[in-house]
Each structure stands twice: as structure tokens, then as C-alpha cells.
């Protein structure tokens, strides 16, 4: 097994930090929408105020689905990319794929939560999904 080149590790670390902040931001965005609409999932979240308890608010659920989609896609990418980088990809290939994944996930959130549009959301999803699949297959081919 190869070590990860320092320049690629730096690229991966910076982009990973951006994605962690983006994913954590989704939790804050969910809370913001809940407070704006005064709709919470649990009665104890009211802090003594009058609130509506609901788990089916359309706006809140849209943000939650986008957040869940991040967790379902970004977490596997973290693992797969760290492993794939041990196969010795070129700097240019790794840089393009890592940055494209980050851009795709940010675009996915924008067109899921802020400006809902298709096929833009599907395209953003499949760019990121395709990159993770490519890295997984490439890794298998390298180590088998």
C-alpha cells in the first residue's frame, strides 16, 4: 500500500473540511427553518413557548432530506477517497475529482433547498455519485 502524497493529502484535507462545515451547516439550516416557522418535532423544544409539534412540515422536511442526502453521499466519499488516494493517482486527476465532488455537493444543496430545480439536482447528485463509484472501482482494480 502506498502512502498518500502530501500535496494530495492537503487537497483532500481542505476539501473535506469544506464538506464537514457544509454538512454541519445543514443542521443549523434545519434549526433556522424550524424557528422561523415555529414548528418542532418534540414538545420539549418549545422552551415554554407555544409551538406546533409536527414532523411533516414541507419546508423543514426538504432541508432534512438534503441533509440526509449529504450524509448518505459525503460520508462514503470521505472513506473511499482516503483509500483511493493510496493507489497513487496523478495530482491533476485527484484534484479534479475531489474539487468536482465538493462543487457537486454544494450545487446539490443549492438546487435542493434554495432554488429547487430538476434536472439540476439530479445532475449534481450523479456527478458526486459517479466520482465515488469511479474511485471504488479504480481502487478495486488497483488492489486486486
Pairing of strands 52-53, 39-40: parallel
Q: Which fold has domain 6-143?
A: 1.20.120
Q: Tell me the residue length of the chain.
A: 144
Report how far residue 87's alpha carbon sits from residue 91's, in angstroms, rounded to the nearest whole number. Answer: 12
Report how far residue 91's alpha carbon sits from residue 7's, in angstroms, rounded to the nearest whole number. Answer: 8
52-105 pLDDT, tens digit per residue, is 888 889 999 999 999 999 999 999 999 999 999 999 999 999 999 999 999 999
Closest CA to 98 of 82, 117, 115: 82
Q: pTM here?
A: 0.92
Amino acid at each position: 500500500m502506498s502512502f498518500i502524497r502530501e500535496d494530495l493529502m492537503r487537497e483532500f484535507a481542505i476539501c473535506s473540511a469544506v464538506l464537514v462545515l457544509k454538512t454541519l451547516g445543514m443542521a443549523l439550516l434545519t434549526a433556522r427553518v424550524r424557528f422561523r416557522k415555529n414548528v418542532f418535532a418534540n414538545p420539549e423544544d418549545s422552551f415554554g413557548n407555544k409551538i406546533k409539534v409536527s414532523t411533516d412540515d414541507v419546508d423543514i422536511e426538504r432541508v432534512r432530506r438534503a441533509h440526509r442526502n449529504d450524509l448518505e453521499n459525503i460520508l462514503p466519499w470521505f472513506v473511499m477517497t482516503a483509500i483511493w488516494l493510496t493507489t497513487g493517482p496523478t495530482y491533476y486527476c485527484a484534484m479534479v475529482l475531489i474539487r468536482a465532488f465538493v462543487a457537486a455537493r454544494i450545487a446539490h444543496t443549492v438546487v435542493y433547498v434554495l432554488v429547487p430545480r430538476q434536472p439540476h439536482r439530479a445532475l449534481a447528485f450523479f456527478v458526486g455519485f459517479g466520482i465515488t463509484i469511479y474511485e471504488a472501482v479504480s481502487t478495486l482494480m488497483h488492489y486486486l
